[in-house]
Amino acid sequence: MNAGQGALDPAHSAADAVVVFSISRAPLRVSERIAWRLSLIVLVLSKCRGQAASAQTLHNLSWALQNSATRALARQWWESPESADLATMRTDPRLATTITIAAAEDLLAIAPSGRVELTDRGREFGAMIDSDESLMSQEKALLRDLAPLNDRQVMLRLGGM
């Protein structure tokens, strides 16, 4: 189509359109990569009591593990819960999608109670991640520092919604 011609011009069809693809130079942040997100949710659940957690606990911990700034805040708030910023919403907008994909991959399941829990396949994957010291070392360090992890402790110390 020439400049100025409308897209609804009956003389031209969609088949006449020229599509140009270009390489994006903007890298995805680690927290936006699905492989990292699936690994993270499995790792988090593998460290929680009973290898299960509420959606709110997963929101809090996924938020805490996003980057070095949120990890530092989570450590500070865990050690001194009264310093937690009540106005900060500790939610992960990509968590629902991550849970859906992880469930489709048989890494986790939603219990009748609504808690998210690892499947046998998820437990195997979590053990594999945990056994390799080079994988997710910063995330593992924070989870180790916050242990023991259970819904009550996460809500008391990290708060949020």
Maximum Cα interatomic distance, the chain, rounded to a whole number of Å: 69
Residue 91: per-residue pLDDT: 76
Residue 65: per-residue pLDDT: 93
For 108, counting Cβ atoms within 10 Å of its Cβ (0-12 exposed, 13-18 middle, 19+ buried), the class is: buried
Amino acid identity for residue 161 in this structure:
M
Per-residue model confidence as pLDDT tens digits over 103-141: 999 999 999 999 999 999 999 999 999 999 999 999 999
How far apart (Å, rounded) are the C-alpha atoms in residues 123 and 108?
A: 9
Say if residues 56 and 123 touch (Cβ distance below 8 Å): no
Amino acid identity for residue 38 in this structure:
L
The residues of the chain scoring below 70 in pLDDT are 1-17, 21-31, 83-89, 160-161
E strands, 1-149, in order: 52-53, 108-110, 116-118
**What CA dihedral angle connects 120, 152, 39 and 42, to 10 degrees?**
0
The pTM (predicted TM-score) of the whole model is: 0.78
